[in-house]
Amino acid sequence: MTLAVFFGCTFIAFGPAFGLFIFTIARDPLRIIILIAGAFFWLVSLLLSSLIWFIAVKASDPQDERLQKGLLIFGVMFSVLLQEAFRFLYYKLLRKAIEGLVALSEDGCSPISIQQMAYVAGVGFGLMSGAFSMINLLADALGPGTVGIHGDSQLYFLTSAFMTMVLIFLHTFWGILFFHGCEHRRWWEIAAVVIMHLTVSGLSFCNPLYVGSLVPSYLLMAAAAAWAYLLSGGSAQNLRRFLLCKCCSRKGVGDTLGLVGYQDCCWDGERLSQWLKQEHHPLVSQTRGAGDFLRPWSGCYLSLEK
């Protein structure tokens, strides 16, 4: 176990999450606070579930292997359910916070929308979950030793890192799905999140048969990603426009908005969204603020005549 393993596993497990943090969360203080509070809620759920498991183990016979295994399975499932329960509690708390922010703001719009909060909460849960799974392993990876010398799998560190990464992503998407389900009272979305979480945790019982646990988890992650993307207002068209953003004609961008008389200069998202609101542009009703919607096109220049 060398520095290479340490750095490799760290970046595999936490690289995407830190990228998400730096590019989407780090700039806004409110989002950082929501992230840390999300991590705190996950921690409390873990604490309670460990308490239950600990009591159960202490009350049982330590020699009975099957019982201990059964208690472990029970512990894992109970922990998953408790995590989702705390996600719901966190949703309630954020809803109250949004009402407070709306009441305080000047135009009845809170500075952060529930969808953004859902995303940040998901990342908070994911980061804390990943950190708790991975940090001790990483610390051990720096020290001396041989992986799998007693006959266990030699890919332990690598697969742990990949599993951590997929779990962080999954928590992010589950956050979005869960909050969307709570917002629009679609209980089947919430149930789907719980079932997915139970499935992923249950699949990890297949370890060290990594094909059984990693591959389905990644497939589930892809499905959850697509679903969350669609729920957040994405579509295939949006994706194509975003990917082709650099080559799109400036005229084309203005045309989609129905703006006339634009010229090449730096556009101002805030003023644009206010102007769109004034003009009762249909875009505003769809999105929380046109500024967010237009951000992918920030490379393109357009402005209003007014």
Sites of contact with other proteins (CB under 8 A): 29-30, 32-33, 36-37, 39-40, 43, 46-47, 49-51, 53-54, 57, 72, 75-76, 79-80, 83, 101, 103-106, 108, 111, 128-129, 131-133, 135-137, 139, 156, 159-160, 163, 167, 200-201, 204-205, 207-208, 266, 268-271
H helix intervals, 59-155: 65-104, 114-141
By C-beta, is 58 or 185 nearer to other proteins? 58
> Least CB distance from residue 8 to other proteins, whole Å?
18
> Least CB distance from residue 153 to other proteins, whole Å?
8
Which among 127, 149, 130, 126 has a CA at the least distance from the CA of 138? 130
The encoded tokens of residue 49 equal 């579930």
Give Cβ neighbours of residue 197 (< 8 Å, ≥ 6 apart): 80, 83, 84, 170, 174
By C-beta, is 115 or 213 nearer to other proteins? 213
> Least CB distance from residue 216 to other proteins, whole Å?
13
The encoded tokens of residue 76 equal 């894992």
DSSP labels, 133-175: HHHHHHHHHTSS--TTTTSS-TTHHHHHHHHHHHHHHHHHHHH
By C-beta, is 184 or 271 nearer to other proteins? 271
By C-beta, is 177 or 200 nearer to other proteins? 200
> Least CB distance from residue 80 to other proteins, whole Å?
6
> Least CB distance from residue 191 to other proteins, whole Å?
19
Which among 168, 167, 165, 222 has a CA at the least distance from the CA of 11? 165
Distance CA 73, CA 69 (A): 6
